[in-house]
């Protein structure tokens, strides 16, 4: 099935490179198949397809390179020289970019074929992908539901069997949330692991770069290719070698682990909680981890996270705002209106105080446990067109958490790792009513290697389908 030339590759990216080397198919055939699948899909996973350049690059692909000849999706919040750069917004609908992001160049240098721009939520602001400029992106497990956001197009393309791998970005869960909704592997790295340059801003130090993949080894290979210091990002970390070659080599036995499905800061559906609890218990047992009882109560951070990130949005909009207000999605209109009229030193100080409180809380947690298991999302995927749900299993979140708390609930489980900067991974944990459920595992800073080995164990003992049965319809 993987090598059927009438359809896009439905194995992982590493196995596609292996297939090239065995002469089972060629990069041109694989790229053509992905382009055909993207063009004939109703998932709306791509906002731009670079057919001519992708096919030309495929003709001279070096299959000995790590991703030699692999068709890649690139999230539309990343730069690729010559491609549109709209940030999924009508405000910048006519923009193109003249330069490429550092890690995109590294993908190309490793043989990746930059094939399509995958859709995102506007400025990466919400965790579903439906915009006035590109329309609604849909989940291949159930096209009435969202693949999440902001890396929604990346998740839809990879889980839908259109592209074997795509870049993503995670500023509040934007890799992990779509991974959880679509049954993929989604790693949010330690802040600075993959450089954000050139021309990168650092405040509020929440955004990390990464990928959406079908397998753990794809994520590890991607890390090997993309991580490492770059002079255009003054907070980027030194190169770490051997993520892929080191898979399965770490002694997990004896590490301590805590399970807190809701992290003490979210309301989680009982169906999700049961699947996550069972998956976490199984992994703890099979890995030989030592489960510890830790009281986990992370502070609610939705408003502080939102206000801080709106500072960077204001920098991007610059002189276009407030005249462009009506071109923005309603959530951004609402947030920018509050920030523009009420953000001040007191608000900034409150956000910074919240970050310090979180940092101390997380330090205390990781003093007691090496790993923290939770749900990735409070529930399975919601409506493709949004908005973010304010009810779970009949519970009215507005009455329980207030309006702001209800809106923040869907990102409450993922935002803490962004604010703290530590790594976290979403691993498929099963299905409820035909929709994937994600298990999130958090670790201390710089321990991506341990998270990858936990995910590798999960892949072996509770294997997941690499794609939705979307192309079989």
Torsion angle (degrees, nearest 10) of CA 152, 153, 158, 161: 120
CA-closest candidate to residue 397, choices 411, 409, 384: 409
- Quick check: 193 and 222 in contact, CB under 8 A? no
On whether the CB atoms of residues 37 and 5 are closer than 8 A, the answer is no
Q: Which of 150, 151, 166, 260 is catalytic?
A: 150
Q: Is 270 a catalytic residue?
A: no
> Which position among 34, 174, 215, 354 bears the catalytic label?
174
Active site residue 174: yes
Closest listed residue to residue 169, CA positions, set 232, 119, 234: 119
Catalytic residue, candidates 41, 75, 101, 121: 75
399 is a catalytic site residue: no
Of the candidates 90, 36, 58, the one whose C-alpha atom is nearest the C-alpha of residue 332 is 90
- Cα–chain center distance at 307: 21
Q: Enumerate the active-site residues.
A: 75, 150, 174
């Amino acid at each position: 099935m993987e090598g059927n030339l009438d359809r896009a590759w439905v194995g992982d990216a590493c196995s596609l490179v292996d297939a090239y080397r065995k002469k089972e198919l060629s990069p041109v055939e694989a790229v053509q198949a992905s382009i055909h699948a993207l063009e004939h899909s109703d998932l709306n996973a791509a906002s731009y397809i670079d057919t001519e350049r992708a096919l030309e690059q495929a003709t001279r692909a070096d299959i000995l390179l790590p991703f030699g000849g692999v068709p890649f999706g690139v999230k539309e919040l990343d730069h690729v020289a010559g491609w549109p750069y709209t940030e999924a917004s009508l405000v910048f609908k006519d923009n193109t970019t003249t330069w490429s992001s550092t890690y995109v160049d590294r993908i190309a240098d490793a043989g990746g074929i930059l094939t399509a721009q995958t859709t995102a939520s506007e400025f990466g602001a919400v965790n579903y992908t439906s915009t006035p400029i590109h329309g609604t992106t849909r989940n291949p497990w159930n096209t009435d539901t969202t693949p999440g956001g902001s890396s929604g197009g990346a998740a839809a393309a990879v889980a839908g069997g259109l592209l074997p791998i795509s870049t993503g970005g995670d500023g509040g869960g934007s890799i992990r949330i779509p991974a959880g909704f679509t049954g993929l592997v989604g790693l949010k790295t330690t802040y600075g692991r993959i450089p954000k340059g050139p021309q990168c801003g650092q405040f509020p130090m929440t955004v990390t770069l990464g990928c959406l993949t079908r397998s753990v080894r794809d994520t590890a290979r991607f890390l090997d290719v993309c991580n490492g210091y770059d002079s255009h990002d003054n907070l980027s970390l030194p190169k770490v070698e051997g993520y892929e070659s080191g898979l399965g080599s770490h002694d997990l036995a004896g590490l301590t682990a805590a399970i807190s499905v809701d992290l003490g800061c979210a309301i989680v559906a009982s169906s999700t909680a049961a699947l996550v609890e069972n998956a976490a218990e199984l992994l703890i047992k099979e890995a030989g981890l030592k489960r510890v009882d830790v009281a986990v109560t992370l502070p609610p951070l939705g408003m502080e996270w939102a206000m801080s990130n709106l500072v960077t949005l204001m920098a991007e909009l610059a002189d276009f705002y407030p005249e462009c207000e009506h071109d923005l999605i309603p959530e951004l209109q609402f947030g920018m209106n509050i920030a523009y009229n009420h953000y001040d030193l007191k608000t900034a100080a409150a956000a910074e105080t919240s970050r310090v409180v979180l940092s101390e809380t997380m330090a205390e947690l990781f003093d007691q446990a090496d790993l923290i298991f939770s749900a990735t999302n409070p529930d399975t995927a919601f409506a493709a067109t949004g908005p973010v749900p304010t009810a779970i299993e009949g519970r009215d979140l507005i009455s329980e958490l207030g309006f702001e708390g209800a809106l923040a609930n869907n990102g409450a489980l993922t935002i803490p790792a962004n604010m703290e900067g530590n790594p976290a991974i979403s691993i498929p944990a099963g299905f409820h009513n035909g929709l994937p459920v994600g298990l999130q595992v958090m670790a201390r800073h710089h321990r991506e290697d341990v998270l990858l080995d936990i995910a590798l164990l999960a892949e072996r003992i509770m294997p997941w389908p690499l794609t939705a049965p979307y192309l079989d319809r």
